Every structure is written in structure tokens, then in C-alpha cells.
Structure 1
């Protein structure tokens, strides 16, 4: 294998720890799976409601732009 494609020697065979290990596991618990599905949507809605919508309304642009801003930010 080319040296540009090879990971550094100190990381070869290293196992991920903590949150990354949970994400890469073969199976997740039900609450963790539910959180992985719902949290990104909740963050998008929060950015829309508290940041993007007031900003777009203040600039008198179409409100659909607020969704585009929220999706780009998140």
C-alpha cells in the first residue's frame, strides 16, 4: 500500500473509545437509536425557531429562506 494511503503507525490497530465506539458498534440500544434519529431534527428546528426565522422576518425575505439557513447551519 502507498504510504499516503496508510494511517500513521501509532494509530494502526487502535480501537475507538467512548462515544465513537458506541456509534461504530454493530448494535445500539433502543433509546440511543431513537436519539440518533431525533436529535438532528430537533437541532434543525431549534436553529430555525430561534435564529433563522427571526433573522429572515427582520430582513423581510420569504420565510422558506429560514429553513435553508437552518439546514445550512446545522
Structure 2
């Protein structure tokens, strides 16, 4: 059950990251990366690791976007 919850949190975070790809909306990643890491923490308590890995990939994508935008853009 926690794996499904973790995957759902990752999916919601990924959908919310779509607008953060556009210029001047990249600061939204400051909110979404911790949300994805929270989902990974939830997935850590599960015996299966699919949701956890998905959340970590989403967090890495957001961090890369934040890095390329200089932390703001």
C-alpha cells in the first residue's frame, strides 16, 4: 500500500513539474523536490521499491531543472 501511495505522490509531483519547465516558473521546483523526496521516504517503508525509485527520479529531474535554471529560473 505504501508503494502505491509513493508512486501516486511521484506521479502528482511529476504532473506539477510540467509547468516548472517553462522559464520563470522554475522556482516551483523548490516546493516540488521536497514533495518528491517525501514520496521517496514513504516508499522507503514499503517492501517494494518501485514507488521510491520513481520519486527519486522525479526529484532528480526537478533538481536538474533547478540547477540548469540557476536556482531561480
TM-score in terms of structure 2 length = 0.35
Kindly indicate which of the two structures has a greater share of residues assigned to helix: 2
TM-score in terms of structure 1 length = 0.34
